Homo-oligomer: A and B are copies of this chain.
Amino acid sequence: MSLTITKVVARDARFPLGPGAGSDAVHLDAVYSYAVCELYTDGEEKGSGLAFTVGAGNELVCQAIEFLAQELVGKEIDELMADFGEFQRKLSNHTQFRWIGPHKGVVQLALGAITNACFDLWAKKKAVPLWKLLLDLSTEETIQLLDFSYVEDVLSKEEARVILNSHVIDRHKRENVLTDNYQGYDTSIGWFNYSDQKVRDNIKKSMAAGFTSMKLKVGSPDHERDLRRAYMVRECAGDAATVMLDCNQQWQLQESIEFMMKAKDMNPYWIEEPTHPDDILGHQTLARAISPVKVACGEHVPNRVIFKNYLQSNAMHFNQVDAVRVGGISEFILISLMSRKFNIPVVPHVGDMGQIHQHLVLFNHIAMGHEALFLEHIPHLQEHFVHPCQIVDGRYITPQEIGASSDLKCLQADNIRVAI
C-alpha cells in the first residue's frame, strides 16, 4: 500500500516556561519553541518533525521548512526512504538556498525538521515505534539513509557497514535495554536563574524520583557563585551521584581552564560546552589541560563535517549531537557511527525533550554497540506532547506508540500560538 505526501505545512509552536526554567548563562530567557514540519498524505497518517529553538527566529526556520520541503510533495514514503541519503544530499545542496548555510543555522534546522517528519511518517506507515523501525532495517537499508559526503575520508560506507554488521551477532544481549529501560539524567535541578535553595530542593526531589545523575548550569561572570553552587550540589547529592556542569559556551578558553582547575575537586563528570562551539582546537586544548575532567559538547554543532573534525582532534569526550540541530535522524545516525569508530559515547542533547532521542539511544546501543549511558531529561514540555516520554525511577520507559513521539497536542487542537 502506498502513502504519498500531498502537502507540507510548517507550524511555529512556542511554549513560555516557568520562572527561571530553561535559563542558562547565555540563553537567559528561553522560550522553548519548535519549528514543526507537518507532512500531510493521501492516507490517515501525518508525519511530524521537530527543530528546536529558544524563541526569536523560530519563524525563520518555519519559512525555510516550507521552502525546502516542497520537494517532498508527490513522494511515496517507502520509496523516499529507500534512498533517503541521496535525497537528503540533494535537498541540503539546493543551488541557491545552500549559500545561507551551508549545512548550518536556519537552513540546517529546517532540514532536520523535514528529515524527522519523514522518519515519523515512515514509522507510522509501518505502524511501529521509531526505535523498532530502525532496528528492523538491514545494514544496507540503514546505509541508504545516510549522506556520507564530506566525511568518507574518516568513515567510508564500507566502514559503516562493518560497524553495523559486527554488532549483529550479540545484538540480543543488548536488547535487554528495551525491558530494563534507558537511564535518564536530570537537567532541571540547576537552571542558571534558580536560587541556591531551589537547586537544593530540586536535588532532593530528583533523587527521590530515582535520578542519580544531574546537571548544574554555570557560566556566571561571578566564578565564586558558580563554584559555591557546584560544591553545594556535590554536597547535597552525595559522593555517589553523577554531577555534570554546563557552561553553555559562555567562557573564554583561558577562563574555562582556570575555572575547571578550581571545580575539579567536586568531581564533575563532565564540563559541557565550556566555550564557543566552533572552537574545535580550543576544546582540544581544554581537554588536555583539565584531564581527567572530561569535555562534553555538540548541541550547537550543526553537521557531520564539524563533528568529524571534533573527533579527529580528540576535542570531545562525550558527543552531544542533537537530532533537532543537525540535519535530523539520518545525520544523527551517521554521526553516531563516526563517533563509534572513535569510541566516543553519544549522549544526545535533547532539544526535543527526549521524545525522539529516547528511540535513537536504543538504536545506537543495540545496533552499533554504543554504551547505554544515560539520556538527558527535561520535563518542562511533557504535557504538550501527545505521547510524552515516561520516566519511572529515573529511567525512560521504552515507548510502544507508533512513530517518533514528536506529535504536539497543540497542533492537533490549534489552541496555542501557531504563526503559520
Interface residues in chain A, defined as those with a beta carbon under 8 Å from any beta carbon in chain B: 26-31, 53-61, 63-64, 67, 93-109, 149-150, 152-153, 249, 252-254, 275-282, 285, 300, 302-303, 305-306, 308-309, 312-313
CB distance from A213 to the nearest CB of B (A): 25
Given contacts A252-B149, A252-B152, contact A100 B95 (CB under 8 A): no
Q: Are B60 and A106 in contact, with the CB atoms below 8 A?
A: yes
> Which chain B residue has the least Cβ–Cβ distance from A302?
B104
Which of A54, A278, A280 has the most C-beta atoms of chain B within 10 angstroms of its own C-beta? A278
Q: How many copies does the complex hold?
A: 2
Of the A-B pairs whose beta carbons lie under 8 Å apart in the complex, a sample of 22, sorted by A's number, is: A26-B95, A27-B98, A27-B99, A29-B96, A30-B96, A53-B100, A55-B99, A56-B67, A57-B67, A57-B100, A59-B63, A61-B100, A101-B105, A102-B249, A102-B277, A103-B276, A105-B106, A105-B107, A150-B279, A152-B254, A281-B309, A282-B305
Which of A98, A100, A254 has the most C-beta atoms of chain B within 10 angstroms of its own C-beta? A100
If over half of A's interface residues share one DSSP class (helix, strand or loop), that class is named, otherwise mixed; here it is loop
Q: Are B153 and A253 in contact, with the CB atoms below 8 A?
A: yes
* A96: B residues at CB distance < 8 A: 27, 29-31, 53-57
Q: Are A281 and B313 in contact, with the CB atoms below 8 A?
A: yes
Q: Are B27 and A95 in contact, with the CB atoms below 8 A?
A: yes
**Alpha-carbon distance A29/B96, docked complex (angstroms):** 7
**Alpha-carbon distance A402/B303, docked complex (angstroms):** 42
* A55: B residues at CB distance < 8 A: 96, 99
Q: Are A64 and B54 in contact, with the CB atoms below 8 A?
A: no
